[in-house]
Amino acid sequence: MFSTLIYGVRLAGVGFVFAREGALALVDPAVLPPAGRLGLRLARLVERRGADASHGEGRLAAALTRLGPNWVKLGQFMATRPDVVGVRIARELERLQDRMPPFPTEEARAIIAQSLGRPFDQMFTEFSEPVGAASIAQVHMARLAPGARRQAGEAAGEMPGAETALVAVKVLRPGVRARFQRDLGAMRFAARAAEKLAPAARRLRPVEVVETLSRSVAIEMDLRLEAAALSEMAANTAGDPGFRTPRVEWSFTERDVMTSEWVDGIKLTDLAAVDAAGFDRKALAANIIQSFLRHALRDGFFHADMHPGNLFIDPRGELVAVDFGIMGRLGRKERRFLAEILYGFISRDYRRVAEVHFEAGYVPASHSVDDFAQAIRAIGEPIHNRRADEISMGRLLTLLFEVTGLFEMQTRPELVMLQKTMVVVEGVARSLDPHLDMWKTADPVVRAWITRNLGPAGRIEEIGRGAAALVARIGSLPETLERGERVLARLEKAATSTGFAINADSADRIGRAEGRGLRMATLALWVIAVLLAVLVWRM
């Protein structure tokens, strides 16, 4: 169809940018069929001078940045899926910085006024130029107008100086949804084509990956949902020592605008300022690790983008996190899995680490627990012969996932996101304290969770949850039986009937439609080939 041609042309342009920036150097020719290897050699003829033709380091990130915000977002998403793109490309994608040129402040003011349904000057007396701009939105510092919160129907006085408080206003980029839907169409087309033309690609489920990206970005582009994530984490961490989140200004938050308390603190990227303020770096590093583990284990809800630019130290010495667009969740099974494997490595109980994998159903029962424990030991023993400050918990989990791949462990996206976030968090902590003992720091949090949840009290609670679930199932049993009877009746009817007939006219129409689709696909491929030839000729 015509859409096939449009998507084909767009993907041809994307392919040219990848080739031009030298990103195709990351593709291993050995995994390609002969025709694919020929195509790769031809495509790399257009690499610009200066591109790293041997390794491609930095070139994939450069290509995605050149393609625009939506492709940067795709790259960041794929950096969390080394199971799909491979470890090498995932590490390359980690170079991506979600920093984009800002859009005009006047446009931001107009979006705010339209979204909130009030004149701008009645809400804010001050409004800065952008203080940060990313692929989805940008942030401004503003000051609430006197009486603005009362006019919005919100009680004032909930925080110091609430009536004229400084706030952070996050504004969605104009037109970002339409642009993303356009690019998403091309991504879906490419994913479907990959599954049809390359059977080996089906194992990586490219269509499912694109749909997951679509859902993730759809959530990120509704700033009310980010505000809800911020509010949920604030409730979870209300009593935590040394950690807090900004307060959401719900009366100034809508789909395209989110307003929250302005964080007056020192970014963890500014270590000189941290030292000048007299903060204890070692205590801050321990606080970062323990806070993250509390969120992941206790709450099952963690900030999945905890790079140093999103972390501040306020005047009271508390850690403050911002930018809650990307969050991770862990169910009870995943939390138990994480706690037990960390504790197993700490205590050198490798068989228990192996058993946890089998109990969770992550490793097929056809494999041997003893063989798996032996593989786990190969990871764990070397770390006990090294200094504590040389041991990386994030690296440990990376090695664990690599080994489990040999035992056919099914990929768990939530655990991959956790591992990627832990690597980032650990890097931030070690920038503050290079000699940080990760295991000693993590031990109190992990041990407390295991004692609480796997001890007698935890077992009793688990039995209670199981009993409640059983009662709920029994309550729905009559409805379930009724549905089962209807299904059985339909199956019986289908089994005794002659089946579904397709008349000749329908079959003819299906054949003509398939023929048109094949012709349009062939035409699209020829157009792409011609465009690439023209582009190469013009270089």
Structure letter (DSSP) for residue 127 = E
Task: Indicate the pairing of strand 137-144 with strand 166-172.
Answer: antiparallel
Exposed/middle/buried for residue 59 (C-beta within 10 Å: 0-12, 13-18, 19+):
buried
Catalytic residue among 183, 240, 305, 433: 305
Burial letters 68-90, b for 16+ CB under 10 A, else e: ebbbbbbbbbbbbbbbbbeeebb
Question: Does 323 participate in catalysis according to the annotation?
Answer: no
C-alpha to C-alpha distance for 350 and 377, rounded to whole angstroms: 6
Instruction: Supply 327's token pair.
Output: 């969050």
Rg (CA), the chain: 27
Q: Give all strands of the β-sheet with 243-244 in edge-to-edge order.
A: 243-244, 319-321, 311-313, 266-267
Assess contact for 79 and 88: CB atoms under 8 A.
no
Q: Please state, as a whole number, how many other Cβ atoms lie within 10 Å of the Cβ of residue 115.
A: 17
C-alpha to C-alpha distance for 142 and 152, rounded to whole angstroms: 17
Q: Of 221, 260, 255, 256, which is closest to residue 244 (Cα–Cα)?
A: 260
Assess contact for 423 and 306: CB atoms under 8 A.
no
Catalytic positions: 305
